[in-house]
Structures are given as structure tokens and as C-alpha cells.
Structure 1
């Protein structure tokens, strides 16, 4: 099998010309119907790395595979990566390459369930949420450098709170607020809230639309929004009953079963303890934002 060599600038440029399109949201690119090329790269990736790295002097490659949610239940991916890892590990030539898979802990657990080797191959590093001071610094620096100022109301406080410590949400809120700024270049609380609401729509479409489409119950969605409104990222079943109406109480057990199936909420604590939590901060933050009553603004 002939290996496609990309070790020279000329060959690398030729490779780029074969790219048909790049799919940012889909975490990849498609080649111009070069099935054999895709197969060669996939099957001989470790050898390709060796050839590339042999041209380096005191340098290496850092691969960041961002947002692997779509790969977390993919057996083909886990088997391919395990084979790649073994080829690199036992090769007589040291390959100066580091791979980082970026995702939520739950997705990494799924990979380990499919292939136990992943728990040995990777070192799990959990990144803490951003502090409010860090988010404030980001918003101030970004907007002030563009010539915008925050009104002395709750505009900045609102943007910080609903970012919920997550860079993804912070970025989306910042982008949405930017589109809502008027000619006076002053960010008011009203603009901030409108930006936060617009951000929730974008986050829903980009991040959890598939799960939301499977809920198919107004009661279930209302319960999720109430959990967000009351700040219940973790909760006991008994305490949630106090914030539900009669109709929601009747479906609450079925609600818990369904959202667990969709991997939105999970059981925590001891078995049958009645303790639950959102599986990640993004899902909770989305329903926290959805809890804003637009009529109050």
C-alpha cells in the first residue's frame, strides 16, 4: 500500500488542494472523494507521524481533538486510536507527539466503557470553571478594546452570572451582546439580557438540539427550566416537589426516567438516595438562561 507523503511543503500544499470542505461543527474535513487517500492516512497514521517528526529538530506535534461528543460512542474510533497508540508506543523511533481529547467527563467515561484501554492511555485532567473575576476581565477587555462601555447597572453582572463559569457560554453571550449593541456604544442591562437570551437559542441549536427534540413534552421542559430558575444543578427528589405544580408532580417520575435516558440528568450519591444532577454545566446553564422571563425586561 502506497503511503501518501506529506513531509515536504510541496506535498502538503498538494494535500490541502484535495480538501473539499471543512466542517467546523462536525470536527473534521472531507477530502475530494479520494477514498483511497482517506484509507491510507487512517491506516498508516503512525508511520505518517514518524515521517513528519523525523524532519523536526527539538520540536513535536500537539494534537487537540476538540469536542469529541460525537465520537464518545464510536467503537471504530476507540479501536483505531488504541491501535495508533500501540504503534507509537512500541515503535523504535520516539515520536514527539501529544494527543489531547477535549470533552466532558461523561463522554470520556463512555470511551472507557467501550474500550478499557482508554483509562490507561489517557491521563484525565479536569479543568475548573472560570471564576467570575476572570469572566469580568474578559468582557471588559474585549468590549473596551472595541470602543464599547458598560452602563453602571447590572449589564456586566448579568453577562457574568449567566456565563456560569463556562468559556463556551461566555463567548456566545459576548457575541450575541455585540450584535445587540446600539449606535451609542453603551451596553445596558436590557441589551445584556437580550444577548443572553439570543445566546441560549444559539447554544440550544448547536449543543443540545438533538436531545431537546427527543423530550417532546412541555411538562418535562418546564421542569428543566424550573430546575434552572431555582439554581438546582444538583438536587434531591424531595426538594423539587416543592417547586412543581400538580400536573408536573404527576409526571415527575417519568420525567426523571426520560432525562436519564437522554443523558441530561444522572443519579448521584448512594443507590436509591433520590439525589440527581445535570451531567454537565452546559445543560444546566442552558435551562438557567431559559428561565429568564422576557416579560420582566
Structure 2
């Protein structure tokens, strides 16, 4: 008989105030599923979008939340051959309308699990996949980034931004990063950025021209939306790709059509969830990242760890945008 569990649940749209930790009845393990006792889970901005009703996945109430966790396998479906009871595993982000991993236990599809890298702590192990796969699919699978390219990463001190810097460097490209605060400049340089532009102080276009000898950036990785593209659109390389993967400004992206026509550039509305469901792309991404974690080339950055009874505080901290790296909740 399945034991009772606690889970993070919401029943209406809104901010962190709609979340609560409640007793929940574990759902049965289907043939292709795995149940884990959760040791830690990571928060993502997609979770905030989900509870606000701004994610393209629409919740069905009452809904659990979250897609990144690390834990120990306690039950497996009859079609599962890759994992055994007692394995330490970590989840690759996925989305359903009612399920989620933020709780004491979770049931996940086996296709979206990997063995947790032994060199990583629990907090690090649940922070791998969104941090790195988000940019991997954009850079490697779509843009075919290489050593001749320069990438612009805006709002680069986020976990996805830091991951983008590291993935771009692993593919041989140079990176120009932007941030709002001087205190994050050294962090971005340490992560591998060649140059850092301070928003509101530095001229982003001038930094791009200086860093690329006037050639421009071929890829931009931009979660800001609003007028962000206009700050660098005149400094794009021919056939550039702008990956718009968020709206931190709370405004939809403004697309300067004429300026983009001059360089035949493309604005690509982007989500890693449009790629992670493709088994071949997912496996290439997993192999790419695990190989580099094993060699020490990649190491997920954790900003802060909260206790399970502080989960609402963790979400409020995420809304503050003060973090530099992953926000994690530890169980027990």
C-alpha cells in the first residue's frame, strides 16, 4: 500500500500565495513510470508562469507543480528496465496538467529520468537539466553554434543564463553577457563570459561591436521581452537567430522588422519543452551534459537552499529576481 505524502498544490491561478503544502494521495505507478522518494527539488521560472496561467501548459485543478527533483527509486512500472529500486535518480523537465515533483514523493515517466551524477550533491543534482538543456537545444540543435560565433546572453545571472554561458563556451563560442548589477559582473566573467555589459550603464551595441570587431552576434538568448531586442538589433550578424524564451519585462517582445530584414535575422519564440519531448534530441542533450559534468567542465550553480516548510518563501525569493543560480528546496 502506498504511504501518504505531502505535495505542493494549487487550486487557482495567482502568485506564490496560491500554493500550499498538503497531504496528497500518491497516484498509481503506470507501466512506464517510476516512483521516487524526493530528496530535493529545484524551482524554475516556468513554475511561476504555470501558477500564473502564463505557461503554454494549462493547469487542471487541483494541480501539483514542478519538474526537477532528485531522489531514490522506490517503485518501478513493469516496462522500466533502466532503473532499479534504490537508484539515485534526477528528473529531466517535463510538464503535465496535474502532476509535479515538488513533494515528499513523486511519480515520473521513466523516459525523463537519469541516474544522478555521483559527484553532485542533491541540491546540484536537481539543478542540472533546466539550467543546461534550455540553452543546449537552442545552441546545438537549432543554431548549430560553433567556434566562429559570438552569443549575446541577456539577464545572464539567472540559472538559465549562467547555463547558457557555460554551454556556449563548451561549443566553442564567445559570450557577451548582460546584467543589471555591478556585483554580478565578476560572477558572469567567472562563468565564462568574454565581456559583460551593465544595463543602464554600458552601451550594449558598443560592447558587441568591440568584442566582435564589428561583425555582430549570430545568436541572442533573451528572456526579457518588451524593448530588449531593440537595444542590440543593429548589432546582429547576418542570418542571426534571437531566441526569445521569456518575458521578464512583463511585456511581449517588440520586433523591429526593418532592422531585422537588413541582416535577414529571425526571432525564434523558444521553449526547451518543444525539444525535450523528442527522444533523439533529449538523448543527445543528456549525453552532452553528463559527459561535461563528469569531466568537471560543467557544474550547476545553486544560489540558495530552503527547507520544505519554506517553499512559499522560496517562490517569493524567485519573484525578487535577486538570485544568481538555482533555488532549491531540500526535503527533511
TM-score range, shorter chain: under 0.3
Q: When you count helix as a share of all residues, which structure comes out higher?
A: 1
Q: Report the structure number with the largest CA radius of gyration.
A: 1
Q: TM-score, normalised by structure 1?
A: 0.28
